Amino acid sequence: MIPVCNPMLGGNEQKYVNDCLQTNWISSSGKYVKAFEEGFSAYCGARHGIAVTSGTTALHLALAALKIGPGDEVILPAFTIASCAFAVLYQGATPVFVDVEPDTWNMDPRLVEEKVNRRTRAVMPVHIYGHPCDMDAIRAVARRRKLRVIEDAAEAHGAEYKGQRAGGIGDIGCFSFYANKIITCGEGGMVVTNDAQIAERCRSLKNLNFLTQKRFWHQDVGFNYRMTNIQAAIGLAQFERAAEFVANRRRNAQLYQERLKDIPGLVLPVEKDYAKNVYWMYGLLVTREFGMNREQIMANLREMGIETRTFFYALPGQPFLRKAGVKAGGRFPAARRIAREGMYLPSGSDLTVTQIDQVCEALRRLRKGR
Ligand SMILES: *Cc1c(COP(=O)(O)O)cnc(C)c1O
């Protein structure tokens, strides 16, 4: 089976993890957490990095650090993972959705302002499948309407917008290091920011909000979102190879592009002038012209030993929102279309040219034999 994504753990991972075990530094203190935070945040062009337990907790921590709570609204793309809306709901705030661009599949900045009202506190662009959002346009609205910008860069390690790395562009950037992300710790996440005060609040909140002067005395509710030194040991070893992983993802995309571009019925991912896309997952849309629908293609590929995945469902209309009393007003035609037609191909950093040839040949045969 050619998997959708495998982690590549052939670097210093084992050595650093063994070091944790041999030195007894297995909890969230220890040198790897610090080294990983410093290294990765600098890579994103941010002064501060706060390692946490997942991408979902990174998003929650960011919202909590900005004191976003009940009565506040946060603007999200209609097409993203549920974590984005969950994080808003954890804080008792309300997610408000905008549709996405039909080609980048990212939040459409032109649709943001009409959703802003006096309750709106923040906007959360999500760099979907590794393509950065149009950040200048989003920042312009945020500046005009005094909103915070929280980037969800969980799929965009190393991606660039006009030469600036994803995660370091808004007020706060959030990353995931889940096993299929471009850099992994198994499970893990990080908040990055240039704002010292936000960073300080994140550090305190993630560690139960202990008072420094009076331990075990708590002014506010806190969380335990601490990443362990063992996770950070893996993360640091992965980070050492970030350039290689990003280059591999981009090479995969180029090979797919060359081999698939003339197959009718496949809409391939784009890379805008302003963007360096890291192609976390190589996603594409299947249109009628292919002569076979997405589900049939996926079933056929599976039989040929090729694993694929469907895109996210659009968030508006999902049961958890209704149960939370959120009315996702409006229509989201682009999000609904890509959710219906989108799938991604094997995309790991360890894919070989032979495997990519196999996937593309299989798609070509399916199209011919329809
Ligand atoms: C993976 C992902 C997350 C969640 O990260 P976890 O570490 O799985 O909690 C959040 N946002 C986006 C866009 C993601 O792809």
- Dist. CA 186 → ligand 1 center (Å): 12
Nearest protein CA to atom 11 of ligand 1, as residue: 154
275: CB partners within 8 A, 6+ apart: 104, 131, 132, 159, 160, 161
Query: What average pLDDT does this structure show over 147-156?
Result: 98
pLDDT band with cut points at 50, 70 and 90 for residue 368 = confident
pLDDT band with cut points at 50, 70 and 90 for residue 57 = very high
- Dist. CA 207 → ligand 1 center (Å): 21
- Dist. CA 60 → ligand 1 center (Å): 12
Query: What average pLDDT does this structure show over 155-168?
Result: 98
Task: Give the DSSP letter of residue 80.
Answer: S
Q: Write phi, then psi, for 332 (nearest 5 degrees).
A: -135, 65
- Dist. CA 54 → ligand 1 center (Å): 7
From 81, 133, 157, 185, mutation site for ligand 1 pocket: most ligand atoms within 8 A of C-beta: 81
At position 32, the amino acid (one-letter code) is Y
* 271-297 tens-digit pLDDT: 999 999 999 999 999 999 999 999 999
Q: Which atom of ligand 1 is nearest to the CA of 178?
A: 7
Nearest protein CA to atom 4 of ligand 1, as residue: 55
- Dist. CA 88 → ligand 1 center (Å): 14
What is the three-class DSSP state of 229? Answer: helix
Query: What is the rounded distance in angstroms from the CA atom of residue 245 to the CA atom of residue 224?
Result: 30
Q: Which atom of ligand 1 is nearest to the CA of 155?
A: 15
Query: What is the rounded distance in angstroms from the CA atom of residue 18 to the CA atom of residue 20?
Result: 5
Provide residues with CB under 6 Å of ligand 1. Answer: 54-56, 80-81, 83, 126, 152, 154-155, 176, 178, 189
Query: What average pLDDT does this structure show over 179-185?
Result: 97
pLDDT at 16: 98
- Dist. CA 178 → ligand 1 center (Å): 7
Full-prediction pTM beyond 0.95? yes
Domains of the chain: 13-98+105-239 (3.40.640.10), 242-368 (3.90.1150.10)
pLDDT at 253: 98
Query: What is the rounded distance in angstroms from the CA atom of residue 350 to the CA atom of residue 346?
Result: 10
- Dist. CA 289 → ligand 1 center (Å): 32
Q: Which atom of ligand 1 is nearest to the CA of 189?
A: 7
> Looking at per-residue confidence, does 328 or 114 come out higher?
114
Residue 26 vs residues 9, 47, 50, 364: alpha-carbon distances, Å: 19, 26, 18, 50
